[in-house]
Amino acid sequence: MKRLFSILAVTCLMAFGTVSANATTYASATATVTTIVQDDAAAEDLGFHQELKKRFIEGGPGFMGIVLLCLILGLAIAIERIIFLNLSTTNTKKLTQNVEDALASGGIEAAKEVCRNTKGPVASIFYQGLDRADEDIDAAEKAVVAYGGVQMGQLEKNVSWISLFIALAPMLGFMGTVIGMIQAFDKIEAAGDMQPSLVAGGIKVALLTTVFGLIVAIILQIFYNYIIAKIDSIVNDMEDASITLMDLLVRHKK
């Protein structure tokens, strides 16, 4: 009988210990899951700017700073060009009609006065052509062609710098990638063992510099394409207006 009671007592103790262990394990697992959920919530609460700043710092101030400088300079030039091109845009049809009316009513001087009071490269080309109209049509045409080249150069001023930054930003990112990989392999060589923790940091820096370089290039490429399209539109207006001006001068000479 005593042996039976002893066996029952040991069995109860073992059962109680198992239940306690399971309860402890469940509580620990619950706490772990809660911590993970809280961490995920904190990561979600992290704003875009904070995340961007974090990734920028992780990428290293060296190459990331140079890539950021390319973005700042490229955007500054792009914004300046966009403002200049928008101010250079002229209502060519209205200007042509005003010049034609001035030629019919007041002659060359009245038409030149209309061009002086109008901004933009088209008005400047008109003025140069009208200024040579007293000589002959060939002289006026040469003046228009020559001054058209000058105006086109002013429209394209500093645009080549934007294309330089577009090419430079991803190349700097790729250079950071190569340097990060070299650092990762140096750590492997120094440790004499291939551990993920040794190379993770270098590879992460390498990928971040590449990503930021590509982002900068994409942003500047959008602005560059808009500027080129705007320049082409203004140049087409200049060419059409030049042909119209020659026709007006020929009719006025008659």
CA distance 107 to 251: 12
Confidence label for 198 from pLDDT (cuts 50, 70 and 90): low
Q: Which pLDDT score, from 0 to 100, does residue 196 have?
A: 66
Amino acid at 44: E
Distance of CA 110 to the CA centre of its chain: 46
Residue 16 has pLDDT above 70, yes or no: no
Q: Which of 74, 53, 73, 70 is nearest to 208 (CA)?
A: 53
Q: Write out pLDDT tens, residues 140-164.
A: 888 888 888 888 888 999 999 999 9
193 vs 125, higher pLDDT: 125
CA distance 139 to 142: 5
Cβ neighbours for 237, distance < 8 A, ≥ 6 positions apart: 90, 92, 122
Average model confidence (pLDDT) across the chain: 75
Q: Which pLDDT score, from 0 to 100, does residue 51 have?
A: 66
Specify the 3-state DSSP secondary structure of 206: helix
Query: If you average pLDDT over residues 76-81, what whole number do you get?
Result: 94
3-state helix, strand, coil in the chain (%, to 5): 90, 0, 10
Distance of CA 94 to the CA centre of its chain: 36
Q: Write out pLDDT tens, residues 206-239.
A: 778 888 889 999 999 999 999 999 999 999 988 8
Domain boundaries, the chain: 2-45, 48-254
Q: Write out pLDDT tens, residues 61-78.
A: 677 888 889 999 999 999
